[in-house]
Amino acid sequence: MVELITPRTRRREEYYSDLRKDLFPNLVNADVSRKLDDDAVKESIKNLVLTDRGERLFQPNLGCNVRALLFENFTPQTKISIESTIRSTIEQYEPRCFLISVDAVANEDRNTFFVTIIFNVINNPDEIELNLTLNRAR
């Protein structure tokens, strides 16, 4: 008797997954779409930076008070404060990444800061760059 042995197909390993914040349905299985690995961590960092402290129910310390700093005068100290606030928030609340650098550039004419965040996802050695534009909103 001959026993056939077939190799199992290997699936791509997914390390991290999050639901999409717009709850867009997956067209294949009609379930909620997910963001995987690098995209999931990138979306999480973006949400952390754009969330103010006290904005999330039952998690009053979660978030970054960067919006309050946008109404300060655009000085080198404001730039340093924004960078350090973003850095400490990511290091505290996002354990899936290793932060490499945070750089904020002021555009005084448009009252905005352009923030570049460079990080590695823990299971991936590739550097990922996230660009955010922080505007004053009244």
- What does the pLDDT look like over 35-89, one tens digit per residue? 767 888 898 899 899 988 888 889 888 888 898 888 888 899 999 999 999 999 9
Domains (range + CATH), the chain: 17-135 (3.10.450.40)
Average pLDDT over residues 124-136: 91
- The distance from CA 67 to its chain's CA centroid, rounded to whole angstroms, is 16
Average pLDDT over residues 96-115: 92
Q: Kindly report the number of other CB atoms within 10 A of residue 89's CB atom.
A: 22
Closest CA to 44 of 128, 104, 136: 128
Tokens 């991290």 map to which residue? Answer: 16
